[in-house]
Amino acid sequence: MKIYNCIKDFKPVENPIVTIGTFDGVHLGHRAIFRRMVEEAAQVDGETVVITFYPHPRIVLGLDSSNLKFINTQEKKVNLIEEAGIDYLVVIPFTKEFASLTSEEFISDFVVEKTHPIKIYTGYNHHFGKNRQGSFDELVSLGKQHDFDVEQIEAQEANDVAISSTKIRKLLETGAVKAANSFLGYEYSITGNVVKGKAIGRDIGFPTANIEVADEFKLIAAVGVYACRVLYMGRIYKGMSNIGYRPTINHGELTIEVNIFDFDQQLYGEEITIYFVDRMRDERKFKNLEALTAQLVKDKEHALKLL
């Protein structure tokens, strides 16, 4: 996949099949759009183009900025779009000036002028342009003016529920990672560098890698204990992760730590990715380390069954 970080640099391609959006999560709904684009491109000897924005519009516009979190980092989003088989990704630098463009100006002066689409695919609830005023009907009208077709992909469902990024974020915020994963089509993950902790886990036979997440806007799932998989140096390991405040030792700060099963390597400074499979229990305070250790033994047995 070729990436353009400015739409002005985009070079004309054969029969462009285009879609536009923020694509937080790159969930099953987004993937349905990408899949249809790839199929269409194959039929018309065309190429697929995804147009997205960075930073996220809500960051630039200050909308709900105090609680603003996203399912994936920009790097992860780009990787997932590439995995979907897209040929070109155009990342438009989002500014307040850009946000002032009307829906017609955006489609005419940016999308049509720069990419010359023969067809634009859109999701069932997509809006565009200033104050998100642009609608599917307007896009159809603009298509007639500029000679491109428009197709809307209906909402995708999981367990009879329409999939959306908002719903996935809410699931993760309550710790329902298994349900969130069913909407995403892959396992929700957190990537970070391993930092030094208090090494109490090692003392009780459950050493943990504590990770630090660089992206302040990355959504961290709810506090709790999870069965997980861990990616390190190209290899996947089984494990269990705790997101929380470690009340038994009065830690006080939110930490993300993982006990990797059958693993005994030094990880300080290394990057690992934790893939969350299912939430096993709430975090709670134990009367002493012995009681905590006994629970961790049970947690490991539970995690191995889930994994």
Listing DSSP states for 100-127 in one string gives TS-HHHIIIIIIIHHH--SEEEE-TT--
pLDDT at 199 > cutoff 80: no
Residue linked to tokens 């934790």: 274
Instruction: Give CA–CA dist 9/115, Å, rounded.
Output: 10
Instruction: Give CA–CA dist 109/12, Å, rounded.
Output: 15
Which domains does the chain possess?
2-161 (3.40.50.620), 187-306 (2.40.30.30)
Joined tokens for residue 246: 């470690």
Instruction: Give CA–CA dist 198/269, Å, rounded.
Output: 15
DSSP 58: H
pLDDT grade for 58, boundaries at 50, 70 and 90: confident
Phi-psi region of 131 (alpha: psi -120 to 50; beta: other; left: phi over 0): left
Q: Report the Cα–Cα distance between both ends of the chain, in Å, rounded.
A: 33
pLDDT at 65 > cutoff 70: no
Digit-coded pLDDT (tens) for 76-125 = 999 999 999 999 999 999 999 998 999 999 999 999 999 999 999 998 88
pLDDT grade for 66, boundaries at 50, 70 and 90: low
Helical (H) or strand (E) element with 42: helix 28-44
pLDDT grade for 249, boundaries at 50, 70 and 90: confident
Query: Does residue 228 or residue 198 have the better pLDDT?
Result: 228
pLDDT grade for 128, boundaries at 50, 70 and 90: confident
Instruction: Give CA–CA dist 46/163, Å, rounded.
Output: 28
How much is the average pLDDT of 254-260? 95
Q: What is the mean pLDDT of the chain?
A: 92
Are 285 and 247 in contact by the 8 Å Cβ rule? The answer is: yes
Digit-coded pLDDT (tens) for 5-41 = 988 899 989 999 999 999 999 999 999 999 999 999 9
Residue 50's Cβ-side half-sphere holds a number of Cα atoms within 13 Å equal to 30
Give yes or no for a cis peptide into 247 (omega within 30° of 0). no
Instruction: Give CA–CA dist 78/198, Å, rounded.
Output: 35
Instruction: Give CA–CA dist 206/271, Å, rounded.
Output: 20
Digit-coded pLDDT (tens) for 174-197 = 999 999 999 999 999 999 999 987
Largest Cα–Cα distance of the chain, in whole Å? 72
Instruction: Give CA–CA dist 271/239, Å, rounded.
Output: 16
Query: Does residue 125 or residue 292 have the better pLDDT?
Result: 292
Dihedral angle, C-alpha 176, 177, 178, 184, nearest 10 °: 120
| Of 211-215, 250-254, 269-273, minimum mean pLDDT range | 250-254
Joined tokens for residue 45: 């000897």
Q: Which of 144, 140, 146 is nearest to 113 (CA)?
A: 146
Residue linked to tokens 């975090």: 283
Give yes or no for a cis peptide into 55 (omega within 30° of 0). yes
pLDDT of residue 186: 97
pLDDT of residue 196: 84
